[in-house]
Structure formats: structure tokens, C-alpha cells
Structure 1
Amino acid sequence: MLSRLISFLKACWRPSSDRYSHSGSDAAGRQEGLLWYKDTGKHINGDFSMAVVQANNLLEDQSQIESGCLSLLDTGPFGTFVGVYDGHGGPETSRYINDNLFHHLKRFAAEQQSMSVDVIRKAFQATEEGFFNLVAKQWPMKPQIAAVGSCCLVGVVCNDILYIANLGDSRAVLGRAVRATGEVLAIQLSAEHNVSIESVRQEMHSMHPDDSNIVVLKHNVWRVKGLIQISRSIGDVYLKKSEYNREPLYSKFRLREPFKKPILSSDPAISVHELQPDDQFVIFASDGLWEHLSNQEAVDIVQNNPHNVRGTFSDCFVGICVSLFDAQWALHGGLYIINLMLGIDYAVLGSGIVPMHLI
């Protein structure tokens, strides 16, 4: 009876689709030097605030939120998509992800008529293959594009399920209320792929048992082949296809010997979480935030700063905090955490509180 009632209510909800992203030239927001921000905006179930800060004049990072239909079919599924793309070596890969990943997700969701881990994985794979094709076309005129890549952190909320998919060292952290104490507990949802983590180094050695130099300590920093800290990404074709690890690519990127299989992976780590009534918000941020704050510190800041603020940034990171109840910004030491309302509503049915996803 209860499941049929929830299905009926969901069937009656047919929202329109809205898209919010920042690519460095979004006129919908405001620009102050290297700070871009949008104080308030509307999406399916409420308001949101969003901001991006860059460390230099070339913005390599992208972020987006898509709310509404998650399929090419008008019948859904419906939900919210959040993406944080931390680029390196240039802006081309993060821009490509921003322009293509969500479209691929909608295409595969339409084919399966549902949202799933398989849909998300296929969307990542199609985005990677598309960028490979772009590199192949531009290689004769612009060979350095082979050394451009991006971390890719994605969150999808659909039918009371939160999917987290990650490549690289960005991070998603959930804030969950503890009713007994009134505190909000930080729970990390994403797996990271940075060889500074011992388990990631072990994974690289197990995948490349014949290469004793697959991970090298260089200037007190662990790097894959002495070049890059992350072990998974979109792009970075020079470490995935040997034919692009040669002249005219800059010598600092070229390896001494050709490789037979990809050194970096584009297979995302995907986790699935059933949303609970005590789940308050999720912070999506690149590594620039987590270098300064622990998971719990970031969650405490969001919990204790419920009003919009604006100030001076001291470091560069890309971050979106999706609040399950409210729209807010939080400021700490010159660093922003950006919050957007996801629109998870809870309906009181009978004697209990049942999570209902009405996006």
C-alpha cells in the first residue's frame, strides 16, 4: 500500500528541466576579478547559490548542476545531476566533460529507461572515448592536448538513491544528523585515486607488476611515472595510448620506453547510497578544499553557517555542496563551500517519516 502511494505521487510529479553550469563566461552570474558567483537561482524544488574561483587567468575547472529529466525520454527518470571537473594541463578536458557527460548519461538512461551504475559507467566511458577522438583530430595541429586531463566527480540523485562516481582526487562528503547529540557527522562517500594514498600505490603495482617505476617518489611527492599524482582520470591520453607519447609532445611528458597498456585508468569508482531522513547535505569539492579542511571541519562549517556570505578566496578549488533541505554558502578562512538544494522531501505517512524523492 505504501509503495503504491509513493509511486502514485511520483507519477504525478513532472518537473521541467533546468541546467546550471559555469564555464568562465556565464552571464547569469556576477564576476569580481577571478571570482564568479550567483547569489540565488531557481531550480526544480527551490533556490541555490553557486560560486567558482580560479587561481589564474586560465580557468581549468568546470562545475554544473542539472535538474529535471535525466533521460532523452520525457517519461524520465527524473532527478538531479551534479558534476565537479578539476582540470589539469589546460581547460580542454574539463570543458569537454561539462559539454558531453550529462548528454551521454541521458542517452544511456533512455536506453535502459532507468538510472543505474551501468548507465553512469557507460556515460563516463563514452565521454572518455569522445575526448580520445578529439585528441586524434587535433594532434597534428595541437599535440599538447594529449597531456590535458581532468578529475571527474559526479553525483546523481534519482528515486531516493544517491550515486557517487569518481575519477581522481576530488571528494564527496555527506553530512548526516545524529539525533541523540544534535551533531552532524561527516561521512565520505567517494573513493579517491591519488598515489599519495598507500592503497592506491599498491593498486598501481598490482596492475603493472613488471614496472618497478610505475610509482616514483619525486621531490617528496608520489607520482605515477614521476609525472602525475592521480591514477584515474578523463583525458591524459599521453599515459593511456602509447602513440601519443612521442614527439612533438613536450619532452617532459614523454616516457623513455613505449607502454603496451594504459598506465592511467578511466574506470570510475561508483558507490550507491539510499538516502535517509537524517541526511542533510553533500559536499562535492576538488582537492583544493580538502588540503585545508578535514571532512568533519567542512561539514561543521556548512552546518553552522546557514546564510549567504561572500568574501575573499585564498586558494583555488571547485566545490558544490548540495543541501538536502536548504540553500546556503559557508565561509571559512577565505574558502567557500557552495551549497545547492537538491530537493529531497520527506512525507509523514502513518507513524513514520518516509524519504520521498520528488524531483
Structure 2
Amino acid sequence: MGGCVSISSKSDEERISPSCLLIDMFRHKRSRRTFSDNATTLQHLSSIPNRIFTNGRSRSSCIFTQQGRKGINQDAMIVWEDFMEEEVTFCGVFDGHGPHGHMVARKVRDTLPLKLSTFLNSFESKQNGSSANCCNGNIKSDVVDPENNISAEEKVESLWREAFLKSYKAMDKELRSHPNLDCFCSGSTAVTVAKQGSNLFMGYIGDSRAILGSKDSNDSMVAIQLTIDLKPDLPREAERIKRCKGRVFALQDEPEVQRVWLPFDDAPGLAMARAFGDFCLKEYGVISIPEFSHRVLTDKDKFVVLASDGVWDVLSNEEVVEIVSSAPTRSSAARILVDSAAREWKAKYPTSKMDDCAVVCLFLDGKMDSESDYEEQCFSSATVQSNHSGNALESDDGQNSEPCLQRNFTVRSSEDSDQYNRVHLDIKDGAEDQNWSGLEGVTRVNSLVQLPRFSEEKPRP
């Protein structure tokens, strides 16, 4: 639908007639393979080229995770180059919580990208046989659809927004009905980024974060936060939860940490306002609808860092950018960042249990170290087949592949949980500052305080 345009391709002479950017993208992809069949794809994820999910590197990125001191590593991460076509890279970090949080995070890591591609594929099928405004690689905002009076930039941004929203919704729906995964009191955050040419499309829930390392007018590295930590201390998040009869307040011994509680019980005390899973709270204001944003990259933008809150609890955005930009090799940046976070945990909070840390560093110029530099950092150029903690290979439902979770280390012990006095959060109407993003507080606590076994049929007061 809409007007027909021609745009320049990478060739000096060749002109591309009216084929939409994303239709062209899928044609490239389908010439190699198709991922529309989720069931088949899930069985062969480990063999897909240019997809890394354990400690290692790709052509333009490095990733690293380290288990904390709370039990099994509940963080997961992924970089998938050539995700839709040669110019599209998908990145994600997922931080699980609750007794099955590690399996939720890995399930989301494996399934969410497939759902995103499925919804983008559905767009192609709808557009077959019709012309649409488009561009190839980079979006040009001066290309306008004469019928709808919208630019190609707005059209593609709207498509990615819809794809993120639908894929997140479908992901949460699948978790709810999963036959082998109990997500009633378990869940996961998600911060996901799709880089297409010079465009960055982001969808995220929870308190994992993405930042951009860029150069300012003085050629100095600066940190630009790309996402907002979606916690209950954000006024708009707290107001939504309260409208749904959920409760938001902090415990007396951690007044800086607002948590979400059931209306009829002082549980579970979730320290985030949006998450996959956590179905005990889905009727009371905790949602899985992602925030979406789009950023056009420039030559001054150097790298993107995605990380779980185990990093952000002890390091500032500026410190993270300094650590990554000063790493001796790009392939070592993620590992050095996690090591730095571990040292800060020991120095700042010696009596606290260090949280799991997961980091993705995506270098925007698409370059990485030489193979010799990479090998000096003790990595393998192939995808690593076991994670930093030596865990076995992961499966969809965790059966016969994960170490047994003997204790839920994301929950406080009974002696730590006695005699909590609650301080209620008082939100004033209209008090939200549009520029406030809840980034200053340092959280050293678990995502969940306690997890008694609920019954979904428990009557409300």
C-alpha cells in the first residue's frame, strides 16, 4: 500500500524498485534459511551460525556472564548476528528470579528472538503483492508515503514497535501455558536490542539496562542511557500497580527498595514493575508490555553495553563506559567489566552476596580484535559450549540438563525475614518528573523477598 519509491543501493548504478526494507530483508534471509517454524528451530538453535549465548565473541561483540553467590546463575544473554539479514544484529540480556528463574531467562533468550522474526515475517506476507515506502539498510526520513503522509522512518519504526510488543506478549503467553515450567512465582527481565544499519530498536522490561558509549564534541567518551530501569519506585509504574490493587512499599531495613506485594499477603516482594512470568502478580499491576525506543546512530557512537543489574548495582554508566573503552582488547571488554563489578561488590558490600552478572558489548563499527589478540584473552573463536560456572548445556525445560536447584537463593532465609515493618510509598498525583528515571538508587537486595506457595484461587479480602 502507498506510494512507490526508488532508492540507491550499495551499487553506484543499481536502483532498487519499490520493495520494502523488511521485505527485502526477509528475501535475503530466506535464501539461506527460514526460522518461521519455532518448534524445529528450537531443536537446532545451537547449530545456527553467528548466534552466541555463552562466554565468547562474535564478529562485532563479546559476551560474558559470571555466577554470583546466591546459587545457580540465573542470567542469560545472546548475540545473534545476521539475525534477519547481514545488517541486522539482535542482542539481549535476561535476568531470572525465583525458584525457576534460571530456566525462565534461558527460555526467553531462546524463544523471544524467534517470535520477533515470526511477527516480522508476518508483515512480509501481508505486504506481498503490494508496494510500500521503504529504504535499504539506513532509513531516510525524507521519503514520504503520499497516501498516509508518514515517512519511511516512521513506518519502519512503527513496524519494529509492533513486532516488539507482539513478541513480548506472545512470549509471556507461552510461559503461562508452558507444561514443564512453573512461572507462578518465577520470572525474568529482558533488555533487547536490534541493530539494523545505523538504527537501534530497543524493547525492554525490568531493571536490566542498556547504555551507549559515544564521543562528545570534545572527543571524550560519554555514557548515554538507552533504557529506563522499570522498577516500582517509578511513579507511573507504582500508580499502575496500585490501580490494579497491588501494593507498593519498602521494607524497614531496605527503605530505598520499593517492592510489589499481593493485596492479600505480604508476598512476594518483587523489586521490579515489569517482567516475564511472575503470574502471581500479573492481575495486580506487574506487566510484560515492553517500553520501546528507537535511536539513529552516528559516527560518534562507538558501542552498546547491555547488562543485568548485578553490574549496575555497583558501577555507574560512566564507569562502565570507561572500563569498556579502555579494555586492552575488544574481545576482553565484557569479561573485564564483569571482573570489575565483582571487585566492586567485594569492596562496597563485603557482607552481601554478589549478584549474577551478564554483559553484552556490541561494537557499532562491526570490528573486533585480530585472532591472535583474541586467543591471548583465553577465549575460543567458536561458540563456547559451557558457561563460566561450568553448567551443562541448557534445554528448553531444564530437564536432565541443569544442576539441581537445592535452595532458592533469590529468597531470604527465614531468620532474615522475621518481623518486617513496612513503609508505604506515598505517590502524589501528577508528581512524576518527565526526566526522572530512577537511576540513582543502589540496590543490593534480591528481586524477591519471600515465596510462599500461593493458590491462584485464594480469595481476595
**TM-score, normalization by structure 2:** 0.54
Amino acid at match of 1:149: G
Distance in 2 separating the partners of 1:130 and 1:210: 23
- Choose the corresponding residue for 1:120, options 164, 187, 206: 164
From the superposition, tell whether residues 191 and 132 of structure 1 become closer, same or farther in structure 2 (CA, over 3 Å).
Answer: same
> What is the Cα deviation at residue 239 of structure 1?
1.0
Unpaired stretches in structure 1, ≥5 consecutive residues = 23-36, 71-75, 241-260, 329-359
> What is the Cα deviation at residue 318 of structure 1?
1.1
Amino acid at match of 1:130: E
Question: CA deviation digits over 1:278-299, x for unaligned, max 9?
Answer: 1111110111111111111111
Matches within 5 A, 1:100-139: 100-113=111-124, 116-134=160-178, 137-138=179-180
Distance in 2 separating the partners of 1:202 and 1:108: 29
On the 8 A contact 2:61/2:79 being kept in 1, the answer is no
Question: CA deviation digits over 1:172-222, x for unaligned, max 9?
Answer: 1011112x3120121111122112x3xx244322453374x6101213231
Match of 2:94 in 1: 85
Question: CA deviation digits over 1:326-350, x for unaligned, max 9?
Answer: 437xxxxxxxxxxxxxxxxxxxxxx
Distance in 1 separating the partners of 2:244 and 2:164: 32
Is 1:224 the counterpart of 2:260? The answer is yes
- Choose the corresponding residue for 1:203, options 237, 243, 251: 237
> What is the Cα deviation at residue 3 of structure 1?
4.5
Distance in 1 separating the partners of 2:314 and 2:270: 21
Distance in 1 separating the partners of 2:9 and 2:202: 28
On the 8 A contact 2:242/2:248 being kept in 1, the answer is no
Amino acid at match of 1:147: C
Q: Secondary structure at the match of 1:208?
A: helix
On the 8 A contact 2:60/2:368 being kept in 1, the answer is yes
- Choose the corresponding residue for 1:191, options 218, 221, 228: 228
Distance in 2 separating the partners of 1:327 and 1:214: 47
Q: Secondary structure at the match of 2:184?
A: helix
Identify the range of structure 1 (290-299 vs 2-11) with the bigger mean alpha-carbon deviation.
2-11
Distance in 2 separating the partners of 1:83 and 1:206: 26
Matches within 5 A, 1:266-277: 266-277=288-299
Is 1:65 the counterpart of 2:79? The answer is yes
Distance in 2 separating the partners of 1:210 and 1:2: 50
Distance in 2 separating the partners of 1:111 and 1:52: 34
Identity %: 24
Q: Which has the larger radius of gyration?
A: 2
Is 1:18 the counterpart of 2:29? The answer is no
Identify the range of structure 1 (160-169 vs 304-313) with the bigger mean alpha-carbon deviation.
304-313
Distance in 2 separating the partners of 1:235 and 1:283: 25
Q: Secondary structure at the match of 1:146?
A: coil
- Choose the corresponding residue for 1:239, options 281, 292, 297: 281
From the superposition, tell whether residues 77 and 48 of structure 1 become closer, same or farther in structure 2 (CA, over 3 Å).
Answer: closer
Q: Secondary structure at the match of 1:181?
A: coil
Match of 1:255 in 2: none
From the superposition, tell whether residues 239 and 206 of structure 1 become closer, same or farther in structure 2 (CA, over 3 Å).
Answer: closer
Distance in 2 separating the partners of 1:99 and 1:262: 28
> What is the Cα deviation at residue 321 of structure 1?
1.4
Identify the range of structure 1 (107-116 vs 121-130) with the bigger mean alpha-carbon deviation.
107-116
Amino acid at match of 1:185: V
Distance in 2 separating the partners of 1:228 and 1:201: 16
In angstroms, what is the RMSD of aligned CA positions?
3.0
- Choose the corresponding residue for 2:67, options 54, 57, 66: 54
Match of 1:317 in 2: 357
Distance in 1 separating the partners of 2:86 and 2:176: 29
On the 8 A contact 1:92/1:148 being kept in 2, the answer is no
Q: Secondary structure at the match of 1:86?
A: strand
Match of 2:191 in 1: 153
On the 8 A contact 1:77/1:158 being kept in 2, the answer is no
Amino acid at match of 1:299: V
From the superposition, tell whether residues 300 and 3 of structure 1 become closer, same or farther in structure 2 (CA, over 3 Å).
Answer: farther
> Whose RCO is larger (CA < 8 A, sep 6+)?
2
Amino acid at match of 1:119: A
On the 8 A contact 2:230/2:237 being kept in 1, the answer is no
From the superposition, tell whether residues 171 and 48 of structure 1 become closer, same or farther in structure 2 (CA, over 3 Å).
Answer: closer
From the superposition, tell whether residues 156 and 47 of structure 1 become closer, same or farther in structure 2 (CA, over 3 Å).
Answer: closer
- Greater strand fraction, Structure 1 or Structure 2: 1
From the superposition, tell whether residues 306 and 117 of structure 1 become closer, same or farther in structure 2 (CA, over 3 Å).
Answer: farther
Match of 2:147 in 1: none
Identify the range of structure 1 (161-170 vs 300-309) with the bigger mean alpha-carbon deviation.
300-309
> What is the Cα deviation at residue 4 of structure 1?
1.1
On the 8 A contact 1:166/1:192 being kept in 2, the answer is no
On the 8 A contact 1:20/1:66 being kept in 2, the answer is yes
From the superposition, tell whether residues 120 and 191 of structure 1 become closer, same or farther in structure 2 (CA, over 3 Å).
Answer: same
> What is the Cα deviation at residue 2 of structure 1?
10
Distance in 2 separating the partners of 1:193 and 1:182: 32
On the 8 A contact 1:63/1:318 being kept in 2, the answer is yes
Amino acid at match of 1:20: I
Match of 2:306 in 1: 284
